[in-house]
Amino acid sequence: MRLVFAGTPETALPSLRTLIDSPRHDVVAVVTRPDAQSGRGRKVHPSPVAALAEEAGIEVLRPQKAGDPEFLDRLRALEPDCCPVVAYGALLPQSALDVPRHGWINLHFSILPAWRGAAPVQHAILHGDEIGGATTFQIVKELDAGPVYGVVTEEIHTSDTSGSLLERLSISGAGLLAATLDGVEDGTLEARPQPADGITIAPKISVADARVDWTKPALHVDRLIRACTPGPGAWTEFRGQRVKVGPVRMVPGERLAPGEIATTKTTVLVGTATDAVELGEVQPQGKRLMGAGEWARGVRPEGKEVFK
């Protein structure tokens, strides 16, 4: 099939590579978000998908909106049979959905209808799900509600961050997406409606949402930090400045007041509503990522100083 691939971040790269290498399909263009500023110098860089496409000699389309007339005209001229989507990051109007004869097929990183929305992996970890997965489905106007083609599952480990889980799902999901397109092409795969029960929503987790509440139980603190790693990054305040915190280790039986910091020669413990947790890595505002012990030796917490 002639494909126009839509995606933006690194998460989409395994799928794009798989489809570029597929002997059954021809990726004639990619659609991605406009180039954006990133890094300390705030230089403008292409998205990871755009960079890979340009390296492979594939046309790159960067519409401000997927309903822009100029973009729609080019999309129609490309005559795609199908448009696979992985983390594109923008809404698709009906005028765009109507262009390919097999529609737009999305790879979504949850087992639908669970965790429809922008942050399915983060919410799966935050809510303590034991099994995650990825789903291919036909895009319709309603958010992540289209009929399903296929699913892969993945165990969620107690040490998983959203980054580590998403990395595994992006690889297994790439195989699922390729198999889905193969089945659509030869007519052996039929999409089935999603069940009406079990719908949950996974809105984007904001920076404000990522603030650690040390008055919550240790299990909640652990899940929140892992869900927000690497983005948007869990954080707390110390002496009026933000400090990002990486994944922690729960320490059963060790009790401190919520937010209270206790240091030893080898560990930095912080109190929660239940057991204390041991900090791993931290990143003070404007500084590099470092081990919690190195941070503590630099700031020398006094008495019963607390994270807020």
Q: What is the pLDDT of residue 231?
A: 96
38 — pLDDT class (breaks 50, 70, 90): low
pLDDT surpassing 70 at residue 195: yes
Residue 203: cis peptide before it, omega within 30 degrees of 0: no
Q: Which pLDDT does position 266 carry in this prediction?
A: 85
User: What residues have CB less than 8 Å from 85, skipping those under 6 apart?
Assistant: 5, 6, 7, 92, 104, 105, 106, 107, 139
Distance CA 178, CA 268 (A): 46
- Which pLDDT value is given to residue 138? 98
| Residue pLDDT, tens place only, 108-162 | 999 999 999 999 999 999 999 999 999 999 999 999 999 999 999 999 999 999 9
In degrees and rounded to multiples of 5, residue 159 shows phi and psi of: -100, -5
CA–CA gap between residue 204 and residue 120 (Å, rounded):
9
Bridge-based pairing state of the strands 249-251 and 268-270: unpaired
Whole-prediction pTM? 0.94
| pLDDT higher than 70, residue 42 | no
Count of CB atoms situated within 10 Å of the CB of 55: 8
